[in-house]
Amino acid sequence: MIISVQKGKDELLEILDGKERLFIVGCGACATVCKSGGEEEVFRMQEWLASLGKETTGTVIIDEACHIMRAGRDLRQLKAQVEAADALLVMACGAGVQSISSNSDKRVLGALNSLFLGNIRRFGQYEEKCSLCGECILNETACICPVTNCAKGLLNGPCGGMEEGKCEADRELDCAWHLIYERLKKQNRKGVFARTVPPKNWGKVQKPGRHKIPG
C-alpha cells in the first residue's frame, strides 16, 4: 500500500490561495486506509474549505485513484461539477494526483505527501519493507530486505556502525543485517553470507518505470 499523509495546513492554505471553488477527489484504496484521503477526510476537507469561505463544487472518491482510465470515467460523469471548479483538490498519493492531471487540463492541487510502499503493522502503523528495486534478493536474505531495512542499503553485511545488533542511524531499530544473520542461523543456512553480492543493477529501476504484461 502507498502510505500518504496530508500536507500541513499552512502549505494547503498557500496552494489554495485564490482558488474559491474546488472539486475534491479522494481515493478509495490506500489513502482511505491511511486516513489521508478517504470519505471521512474528504468530508472534513470540505468543511474546512467552507470555514475558509471556499465553495466545494462536488466530491468523488475514486475506487483507485491511480487507475488512469477509471479516474477519467469518474470525472466525465461529474463533468458539470468539475467544470464549475477553479481547481481539483486531490487527496490521493502522487500516482493518484497524476491520474487526475492526465485526465483534465484544469489546475490540479495535490493535498497529500506520499511516503513509501508500506506494510501495515496494525491500524495506523505502517512500515516500509520493500523499495521496489527491481532485483529481489529476499530468497537469499531470509526474506528480510537489506536494500530497504538497512539505512545504507548495504548488500554484504552490516556497516561499522552496528552496535549490539542495532542500527547506526537509529538506535531504536534492529540492524537489518543482524536480523538476517539471526534468521539464517535459525534456518541453518548461510544464504547471502555464502557469496559476495555484486553491485546492484539500478538500471532496472530506470525512471519512469514501465511494465506491460506480455501476451
Beta-bridged to residue 126, according to DSSP, are: 120
Question: Radius of gyration (Cα) for the chain, nearest Å?
Answer: 22
Determine if 141 is a binding residue for other proteins (CB under 8 A).
Answer: no
Q: Which of residues 146-175 bind other proteins (CB under 8 A)?
A: 151-165, 168-169
3-state SS class at 88? strand
Angle at 79 between CA 74 and CA 81, to 5 degrees: 105
Question: CB 164 → other proteins: shortest distance, Å?
Answer: 5
How far, in Å, CA of 182 to CA of 172, rounded?
18
How far, in Å, CA of 85 to CA of 102, rounded?
17
Question: CB 11 → other proteins: shortest distance, Å?
Answer: 17
How far, in Å, CA of 186 to CA of 1, rounded?
30
Nearer to other proteins, 5 or 162 (CB): 162
- Contact pattern from residue 174 through residue 203 relative to other proteins, giving x for each residue in contact according to CB under 8 A and a dash for the rest: ---xx--x-----------x--xxxxx-x-
Question: CB 176 → other proteins: shortest distance, Å?
Answer: 11
Question: CB 195 → other proteins: shortest distance, Å?
Answer: 9
Residues of this chain that bind other proteins (CB under 8 A): 151-165, 168-169, 177-178, 181, 193, 196-200, 202
